[in-house]
Amino acid sequence: MEPSAAPEQAYFEELRRRRAELLESMRAVEQALSAPAPGREQRWAERVQVSLAELAADFGEHVNLTEGPDGLYRELLKNAPRLSGAVARLTRAHAVISAEVDNLLAVVKEPGADEYVDRVRELGTALLARLLRHRQKGSDLIYEAYEAEIGGET
């Protein structure tokens, strides 16, 4: 890829900032899920729900940033059409992840069911694992297209 075809440095900075926000939301969900629950299920569930709502918002911003009319994927496909398969896989993953977030939000709103905490933790852990893999694949895609590292920890 020619350097002139790469997005502006400011765009990469925005990507890094958004990735960092998503990672922070993922960490908040992990912390909420791993907090002690026995005897305080309602409080635990509220904390999980709040962290999931923030994650849902940050993931929605990620989808808009990548799939939107002026999104990363549109620009990337203009400059690197060979990566259309990877873009399609990441786009499909957005729908799957969004559905998992919605499902988990619905489950966490119904405390009191048998094995409630275990079920929420199981679904939450699976969601976080999928998000982690998605972030890795997104980072690989950017590097393959632009030879730029976007990280996400800053």
pTM above 0.75, yes or no: yes
Measured from the Cβ of residue 12, the count of other Cβ atoms closer than 10 Å reads: 17
Write out pLDDT tens, residues 98-150: 999 999 999 998 877 678 999 999 999 999 999 999 999 999 998 888 876 66
- CA 15 to CA 6: how far, in whole Å? 13
H or E segment to which residue 150 belongs: none
The per-residue pLDDT for 13 is 85
Q: What is the DSSP string of 31-57?
A: HHHHS--TT-HHHHHHHHHHHHHHHHH
- CA 88 to CA 94: how far, in whole Å? 10
The per-residue pLDDT for 15 is 85
Write out pLDDT tens, residues 1-39: 343 445 567 778 888 899 999 999 999 999 999 999 888
